[in-house]
Amino acid sequence: MALIVQKYGGTSVGDPDRIKSVAARIVAAAESGQQVCVVVSAMGQTTDQLVDMAAQISPAPYARELDMLLSAGERISMALLSMAIIELGREAISFTGSQAGIVTDTTHGKARIVEVRARRVIEALEAGKIVIVAGFQGVSTALDVTTLGRGGSDTTAVALAAALKADACEIYTDVSGVYTADPRIVPEATKLHAVTYEEMLELSASGAKVLMLRSVEYARNYGVTIHVRSSFTDEKGTWIKKEDERMEQAIISGIAHDTSEAKVTVLGVPDRPGVAARVFRPLADEGVNVDMIVQNASSDGRTDIFFTLPKEDLRRAEPILQKVSSEVGAEGVSTDPDIAKVSLVGAGMKTHPGVAASMFDALADAGINIEIISTSSIRVSCVVRASEVAKAVQVIHDKFELSTAAIRREMHPVTATGEFEALKDAP
């Protein structure tokens, strides 16, 4: 018998009526002869409301207690969903993260799953029950309730799919899949049929919100195929899976953008070995995630170092940077929160060297200045002014004809060669 893991996000279970329609969808899957294990997020804005209450109590709530608080949200949604399924005449049982055997480390607020002891889940599935598991939460090796961080329910679903050796892991959400760009910015953006783990990792790391980075990492590490789709329609969504020869060979998958980072410049740094380490080690020690580091060519024995970091870490980073700057004898530090990052991602990029140049052309033609560039083998990212990010996404989407290309790929998924006329213009 096939076993399927389905995950429903907060919007999908936002009120009792939506919970009932999700229950109907789950029962239909079970009636079709599959074993169904469901991972569910907290209803709608529940988590935000709980965070707000905590903020009224304490400006910096104690992490263990905050996790205990937030874990209440999924208890509510999972119990209601289980009741709704039972009401439709199927047996169902809900499990907390702890009861489902989601064992994590002790890092409250962003715990990592270290083991899945799914005995109770397996027994319930084998007894013919539909199993509902609380997403986003687990129990630590110290027996405390932990949460996995924003988007953690996706990780719960993928981890359970791996532990249960599920035939599919369906992530139901309020968008119908992964798009070539954010459809709110590019109305003609089209849904992708499939992307590789590596592409999805780059898209998530570059600001695409459809799946959190960690769930994709987990899926890649355990070879779990994910199907991201809408909980409001029956339409197929986007598959996230291992690259194989039958898969479409699209050069570009999509464009992600991110306005959550700020730019930092350390000016006139003496250009000698070990300086970069002295700048970045204290930030790493404080848990500040630095991205997109660029160092200018040296002139007169001095150089400028540019990088980006999350805006929310800026206040914490500034005193550290001032101290480091004077220690290494730099000329000063400046920060700029009004930037955005635009990233072009595609597995085929590795063998098509002109992609970056075409992207720069598109931005240049639109009069958009590029402040920092950073690349990986399947991604090109540019920092631009925050005010120009929508325009940047649009012109890059146009340049690579992603709307047409994506449609063509869905119609002829195996022959994608020669689709990108735009690339021919690249140097």
Binding-site ranges for its own copies (CB under 8 A) = 16, 19-20, 50, 53-54, 56-58, 61-62, 64-66, 68-69, 71-73, 75-76, 78-80, 82-84, 86-87, 92-94, 96, 99, 120, 143, 145
By beta-carbon proximity to its own copies, the closer residue of 56 and 233 is: 56
By beta-carbon proximity to its own copies, the closer residue of 131 and 340 is: 131
Q: Are 206 and 198 in contact (CB under 8 A)?
A: no
- Between β-strands 332-336 and 261-270, what pairing exists: parallel, antiparallel or unpaired? antiparallel
∠320-323-329 over CA atoms, to 5°?
A: 135
Q: Which residue has the tokens 């899957």?
A: 29
Burial of 58 (0-12, 13-18, 19+ CB in 10 A): exposed
By beta-carbon proximity to its own copies, the closer residue of 53 and 414 is: 53
* In the complex, least distance from residue 104 CB atom to its own copies, rounded to whole angstroms: 16
What is the three-class DSSP state of 403?
helix
By beta-carbon proximity to its own copies, the closer residue of 22 and 251 is: 22
* In the complex, least distance from residue 81 CB atom to its own copies, rounded to whole angstroms: 8
* In the complex, least distance from residue 72 CB atom to its own copies, rounded to whole angstroms: 4
Q: Return the closest-CA partner of residue 74 out of 161, 175, 158, 152.
A: 152
Bin 389: left if φ > 0, else alpha if -120 < ψ < 50, else beta. Answer: alpha
* In the complex, least distance from residue 264 CB atom to its own copies, rounded to whole angstroms: 32
* In the complex, least distance from residue 82 CB atom to its own copies, rounded to whole angstroms: 5
d(CA 205, CA 151): 13
Residue type, 406: A
Q: Are 128 and 91 in contact (CB under 8 A)?
A: yes
115-131 CB burial, b ≥16 within 10 A, e <16: ebebeebbebbeeebbb
* In the complex, least distance from residue 84 CB atom to its own copies, rounded to whole angstroms: 5
By beta-carbon proximity to its own copies, the closer residue of 99 and 376 is: 99
By beta-carbon proximity to its own copies, the closer residue of 45 and 404 is: 45
Bin 89: left if φ > 0, else alpha if -120 < ψ < 50, else beta. Answer: left
By beta-carbon proximity to its own copies, the closer residue of 90 and 150 is: 90
* In the complex, least distance from residue 27 CB atom to its own copies, rounded to whole angstroms: 14
d(CA 245, CA 240): 15
